[in-house]
Chain A
Amino acid sequence: MRRIAFILGIIHLLAGSPPGRAASSADTANLRVQLVFPQAQLSPVAKNEAGLYFKLQPGWHVYWQNAGDSGEPPQIQWTLPKGVTAGPLEFPAPQRLPLGPLMDFGYENEVLFPFSVQVAKTAKPGPAVVHAKMKWLVCKDVCIPGKADLDENVQIVAGAPATGVNQADQALVNRFIAQLPVPLPAGDTAVFQPAATGFRLAVDTGERETQAEFFPDDQDVLDNPAPQKVTPTAKGLILDLKKDANLMATPARLNGVLELAGGRNYQVAATPGAVTVVATHRTTAGAIARIAGLAFVGGLLLNLMPCVFPVLFLKGLALVQSGAEARHKLRAHGFVYTIGILVSFWALVGALLGLRAAGATLGWGFQFQSPVFLFLLDGLFFFLGLALAGQFEIGLTLTGAGQSLASRQGYAGSFFTGVLAVVVATPCTAPFMGAAIGYALAQSAGIAFAVFTALALGLAAPYVALTLQPSWTRVLPKPGAWMEVLKQAASLFMFGTVVWLTWVVAQAYGAALVAAVLSSFLLLAIAGWFLGRWPGKGWAKAVAAAFLLVVAAVGFAAPNYLVILLPGNLSPEDGRLLEQTARRSTAWQPWSADAVQRGLASSRPVFVDFTASWCLTCQVNERVALDKPDVMSAFGEHNVVLLKADWTRQDSAITQALAALGRSGVPVYALYTPGSNAPELLPQVLTPGIVMDALAKLPTAGTEGTR
């Protein structure tokens, strides 16, 4: 009751008293507010720094620009002499003020809000009055609004100030100017990544940070009272922030003030990006060895995946051809092949890390999101297919004439087979690879390269093992006419791959680009015909090279024109539309982070299929497991919300969602259970049994709340 009486006695201090008779300070029962001008002479040539000072009774506080869960920042309205302008109040770094279950941001004991005053050359010199109409809210466990009219008598001078500053006032203003947040130093970075219930903010300051608090500029982005977990990293920190439950869309920037140990306050504008999931101080040698081991096994298994198999087929053919070669030469070929794989993996990882450092949100297999890359790869496979089918001799054109097939297979050939194996292997994720790649790309560059080196060695291992064990190759038959047959059979694999790549182009970029791809096949066929009809002739090679150049030029140019010029019926949406009307249309909805939350909010489990047209593993999984009638009906029984995150083309929201799951590529299968925000991740090679088992483990069907 005492408090209520107190509130009823709110004094609207000095409100209504005429300007000119007010003082430069005002007192209430719980605070004193004062205008502080260390230099009473205002000059057009000097920097006129001033401040609004609050001295608060113990326990009372005033607010920061974002007051948090309750409260309002002080407001000021100026009446200034002609030619004089005042900048806005600047807010020093605040502190967290817990109030039961709520959290406010503000200041206790004392605070000064600095502002600057500009004087135009045209301002009339002489005595003048700076008048401020003030409003504030001051709270302890109760809140009391206050108002005051403050006047400061100043002297406007034309030149530099003639009188000295009040040292005590200047020290006071300087003390709070020092607490204003400053921009992050150049070179320091701040990125944030949306997670299921919040944001993961990573700030690199160049040193390990153990203490931090983040104050959001915007009022409805974060859940203010939630503790902010600090995870120190080698070069900064990661802060786990909980988002406001009502936040609908991920903000484009996460803006706010970051307070670090030692009174360092930074204004941060974090951009979306992938945030290291595992803190670096946890990276032990053992963990790296374990992940590298996983990567090696993943590389081994990659040899069996459908994307790599055609290339391996070529390689096997070469091995048979070189069966007669000396042992050391075989080993050398194995070595060069391994180098080819290593170099291209390193180049790929280097490009990926470089582009990421430049701000792009990319993941594993990103090159397949480029129409130019798809176009050229498709053409390359078609051309290789023609060569294997016998239209022309690839050996003749690439390495010149030779006695036998075996000797024609030069070291350059071995090297580029390795390159090709890597290029086509990336859209295939073998078991174990997903976790290893996701981990590696979230680590420092050194660890990423180590893991990818293990992966490369795994991919190269089977062939190298064969070259090291010549006794195995002795089993193989001697080169002969049968090899021509085998080669032609290999061309079938190549054309199969061509069909797949063309389908990817159709899915993602529409019919216009497919037409361009098919036309380029015609040009390649003409080039092949010249090479085959007049083998070894220089002019024929020149004609073929000209055709190849035209195809390359079209490959680089066509996606720009055909995808953009026809935004209507033949745009990328074309592919999407086709896909939507296809077989899976009714059950699967497009993924968004919001859709996941909506599903969970209505007490339904959510299954997300992270997929891409160019990801063969994904396509296979969808056909052999997800789309099986019994699996679909099990999804139905458990009332599962089915979401499909299509990563065929660049999509940074999906890239971030993958990173939040610790992955960097597709496929990923995530099953969310209501009440828990950590989804269960299913293996990357699915069987109906795996999916059904996961569904059987769900708590009893969440059917309530759907209607």
Chain B
Amino acid sequence: MKTLVRLFGGAALAAMLLPAPGFAQARVGAPAPDFSATDSHGRTETLSHFRGKYVVLEWHNRGCPYTRKHYISGNMQALQREWTAKGVVWFTVISSARGEQGYVTPSEENAYLVKMHADPTAVLMDPEGKVGRLYDAKTTPQMIVIDPSGKMIYDGAIDNRPTPDVEDIKGADNYVSDALTEAMEGKAVATPYTRPYGCSVKYAE
């Protein structure tokens, strides 16, 4: 009898056309997937080594007008300095594939950091798009915030003004600062997910 029941149960299951399984790797509220990547100084950075600290991931493409908006204005550099001073680990991630816009060699990137007075903890060189795809990064600048327990608490746009215009930075609501401030005060992040704006990440086809 039991086997008969199972037999029919199985047949019923097979009769159902369930959608093909597929799992998103990264999701707000879920543990941030771990990765190791080489930075522009040739060091290996592993996300899980920074458990206990807040981590910001910033997708970067120096040729993208939306990224340029935040670098030419000095907005991104100011954010990097403000939050790394408060103990936050800031990784700038370059997922542009070789030959695509935004692809740079480590020495080019180091020169750029000096020229732009940029101050991230490290720049992760991700020309194969491994970190980008792991986090489903879509645009530059897309921002992700991870809390000390390793949970993703913010994923999305840098602010609420999806334009390439420098004049739109003033008065914009910066979602990254909001998320970090709220989390550090022990509050829930009010806006944990927004649509990231900007140029598409230039992955290899």
Binding site for B on A (CB under 8 A): 3-4, 7, 10, 69-72, 99-102, 104, 135, 137, 139, 141-145, 195-198, 200, 219-220, 223, 226, 229, 231, 240, 242, 245-246, 248, 277-279, 287, 294, 431-432, 434-435, 438-439, 598, 601-602, 661-662, 675-678, 680-683, 685, 687, 689-690, 705
Contact A278 B16 (CB under 8 A): yes
B193: Cβ under 8 A from any A Cβ: yes
- Among B62, B100, B136, B163, the residue within 8 A (CB) of A245 is B136
The CA of A445 and the CA of B133, in the complex, are separated in Å by 46
B167: Cβ under 8 A from any A Cβ: no
Contact B19 A197 (CB under 8 A): yes
Chain A residue contacts of B20, Cβ below 8 A: 229
Instruction: Identify which of residues 101-131 in chain B touch chain A, using a CB-to-CB cut-off of 8 Å.
Output: 101, 129
Contact B9 A435 (CB under 8 A): yes
The residue among A135, A137, A248, A278 with the most chain B CB atoms within 10 A of its own CB is A137
Contact B21 A705 (CB under 8 A): no
- Among B8, B12, B162, the residue within 8 A (CB) of A72 is B162
Contact A675 B195 (CB under 8 A): no
The residue on B at minimum CB distance from A241 is B19
B205: Cβ under 8 A from any A Cβ: yes
Chain A residue contacts of B15, Cβ below 8 A: 278, 287, 435, 439, 662
Chain A residue contacts of B202, Cβ below 8 A: 100, 141-142
Interface size on B, residues (CB 8 A): 55
Chain A residue contacts of B169, Cβ below 8 A: none
What is the 8 Å Cβ interface bit string for chain B, positions 2-31, against chain A (1 contact, 0 not)?
100110110111011111111110111111
The residue on A at minimum CB distance from B142 is A70
The residue among A101, A229, A601 with the most chain B CB atoms within 10 A of its own CB is A101
Contact B12 A435 (CB under 8 A): yes
Chain A residue contacts of B138, Cβ below 8 A: 69-70, 102
Chain A residue contacts of B18, Cβ below 8 A: 195-196, 677-678
- Among A69, A145, A197, the residue within 8 A (CB) of B164 is A145
For the residues of B in contact with A, the DSSP-based class is loop
Shortest CB-to-CB span from B7 to chain A, Å, is 10
Given known contacts A72-B162, A242-B22, A277-B17, A220 and B5 CB-to-CB distance under 8 angstroms? no
Chain B residue contacts of A246, Cβ below 8 A: 27-28, 155, 192-193
Contact A101 B100 (CB under 8 A): no
Contact A102 B201 (CB under 8 A): yes
Contact B199 A143 (CB under 8 A): yes
Chain B residue contacts of A197, Cβ below 8 A: 19, 21-23
Contact A223 B164 (CB under 8 A): no
Shortest CB-to-CB span from B147 to chain A, Å, is 15
Contact A70 B101 (CB under 8 A): no
22 contacts between A and B (CB under 8 A): A70-B197, A71-B200, A72-B163, A135-B163, A141-B202, A143-B64, A143-B65, A196-B18, A197-B21, A219-B195, A220-B193, A229-B19, A242-B19, A245-B24, A246-B192, A287-B15, A438-B12, A601-B29, A677-B18, A677-B21, A677-B22, A683-B5
What is the 8 Å Cβ interface bit string for chain B, positions 174-205, against chain A (1 contact, 0 not)?
00000000000000000011111111111111
Chain B residue contacts of A101, Cβ below 8 A: 129, 133, 203
Contact A7 B9 (CB under 8 A): no
Shortest CB-to-CB span from B12 to chain A, Å, is 3
Contact B27 A601 (CB under 8 A): yes
The residue among B20, B62, B129 with the most chain A CB atoms within 10 A of its own CB is B20
Shortest CB-to-CB span from B47 to chain A, Å, is 15
Shortest CB-to-CB span from A275 to chain B, Å, is 11
Q: What are the nearest 3 A-B pairs in CB distance? A: A245-B24, A435-B12, A100-B203
Chain B residue contacts of A680, Cβ below 8 A: 13
Chain B residue contacts of A287, Cβ below 8 A: 15
B139: Cβ under 8 A from any A Cβ: yes
B63: Cβ under 8 A from any A Cβ: yes
Contact A681 B27 (CB under 8 A): no
Contact B31 A141 (CB under 8 A): no
Shortest CB-to-CB span from A74 to chain B, Å, is 12
The residue on B at minimum CB distance from A98 is B205
Contact B199 A139 (CB under 8 A): yes
